Structure 1
C-alpha cells in the first residue's frame, strides 16, 4: 500500500498542478456563486440569516453542518426550492426546528470584548460572546480588514472542531454573508486548539517523507469517535513528533499546500476514510483562505494538521481501493453532473 500511495502521490503532484490564488480578497470570486441565480442568492442569504440563531453543535454533540451544506448546494447548482427543502429536512433529521433557537436579537448584548476576544479562544461556552465580538468587528472595520486581522490569531488552531472551524469560515467568505461569517469566526475561535510544535531535525526529501507518513497509516489504532479527540491524541504520540521532525516544514505555505493536497486526496480516494475526507475539505478551505492570510503565515501549522489528521484516521480498518486510470476520470463541467467512469483496470494492492 505504501509504495502504491507514494507513486500515486507523485502522479497526482504532476497531473494536478495546484497554484494558490494570488488575487486580493476583493477579487476572489466565490466558487460556484460568481453568477448565481438571483432567487438562489436571496434564498441562501435568508436561510443563513436563520442559521445564525442555531447553535454551532447539534443535539448529538456533532457539528452543525447546515450553513456549510447550504452554500455547497448553491454552488453545485441547487435552486431556491431545493435549498429550502434541504434545510427543513436537515433540521427534522436532527430533531430541530427554526423555532427551537433563541432569537439572537432578543438576547441581552454582551460586554464589549473587541480588544480582548483572543483570551476567549478555546472556550466552547464563549461562542455567543465571541460571535458578538466578531459581528462588532465586521461592522466597525469591514470584512477585509477584520478577517485579515483575525485569521493570524486563529491560524495556529487550524484543526478546530476537526477542521470545521476553517471550513465554515471559507464557506461564509464565499457566500458573502456577514452574519454567517461572524458565526463561523466565532466557532473557529471557540474550538481553537493548537497542535504541539516540533522542531525540524534532519528533514527528509518530500517523496521519502510522504512514504514515511503513508507507512504510519493506522499504526496508532485510535478508535475514539470524535475526530477532534483523535487529533489531540495523535498530537501527543511519539510517532507524530518523529514524522513532524522529519517533515520539510521550511516550505512556504502555498508550496506546502500544493504538496500536501495530493496526499490527502489520494489517501481518501483509496480508503474512503471519513477523517481523511476532513483533511481534503480542510485543505480546500485553506486554499480559499490563502489570500486573507499574511505572507509570513506559519506553514508548520499545515504540516502539524496533516500529520495529526493522517495518524488520527483509523486506517487499520480501511480497505484500500484501486484508483481509476487518469484517462477514465469524468469530465465535470458547471451545470453538468459528472458521469461515473468505467471500472478501473488495475491490480489490487
Structure 2
C-alpha cells in the first residue's frame, strides 16, 4: 500500500477550512437575507394597518352622512306627499303644486333644514311656508349661514333685486324676502331687541310678519316702530302676493288690516305697517298730527284716524332754538362747546334713566364693538 506524501494532510486541512469559511459566509448571507425579509414583512404589515385604520376613519365619516342623506330623502318624499294631499283637498292647483315639487327636489338639503318640523304644522301653515320657500329658493335658499356669528357684509348685485331688469320688476318680492329673512335671523339667533325700527313701505311688511308669525318665537317683549317721511308711496299689491312671505292673504285682506281703502281688491303694504306697528312717527317740521291726517294721508285718512293715538310727529332734525344744551331746562346740567363739564353729567344721568351699563372704555377702535355687544 503506497504511503501518503507528507504534504497531503496539510492540503486536506486547507480544503476543509475553505469549505468551512464558505459555509459560514453562506450562513451569514442567509441570516442577512432573513433579516431583510422580516423587515420587509414588518413594513408591509405596518402599511396594511395604516390602510385599515384609514378605511375605518373613512367609514366612520361616511356613516353619518349616509344616515343624513336617508333622512333628507325621507323628509323630501314626505313633503311631496303632503303637497299631493293639498292638491286633492283643493288647497292649491296642479300648476302651483308642480312648482312646489320642483323647488323641493331641486333644494333637498335646504328643504331638510327649512321643514324639519313639518309634522307639527297644519297644511295651511306648511303651504304658506312652501310658497315662501319656492319664491326664494332660486337664489337664496341654499345660502350657508353656518358662519353667521356676527355681522357680515354680503355683496349683492342690487340692480338684479330692486330695479326689475332681471326679474320682471319684482321689487316688492325682493323687499319682502329680505324683511322675512331679517326676522328669521333675529328669531333663530336668539336675539331679543326692544324695538324693531322699520321705515316707509319697503319694510312695512315687517309689522304683519312680526305679529302674525314671529312674536311667539321668543319676541314677546319686542315692539315695532314705523317711521315715514310721507304717506305718498304706499305699494299696492295683489292679495295672493302675501303668501310669498308666509302671510295668509284671506286673514289680511280686510278693511281693518291691509285692504286698500280705495282699491279694495288690492292690499296696501304701508297701511299694514301702520296697523301693525305700536308707534308710527311722521317726519314733519311744519304740520300738526291732525293736519297730516286730513291733508297729507294720500288715502290713508280712515286708517290714520283710527290709529291716531299711535301717530307721532317728529321734526326734520332738531330746532337749535329749543334744544340748545346751553339753555335746555330739562337737562340736569347745561353745557356748551366752550364748557363741556355738564355733558358727562348729562350722559351719566341718561344712562341711569335708561338702565343701561356705563361703558368706560369706548376708545376709537372699541366703541362700536362694545355698543354692538
- Larger fraction in strand: 2
Decide: shared fold, TM above 0.5: no
TM-score, normalised by the number of residues in structure 2? 0.24
Q: TM-score, normalised by structure 1?
A: 0.25
Q: Which has the higher helix share?
A: 1
Q: Which has the higher contact order (CA 8 A, sep 6+)?
A: 1
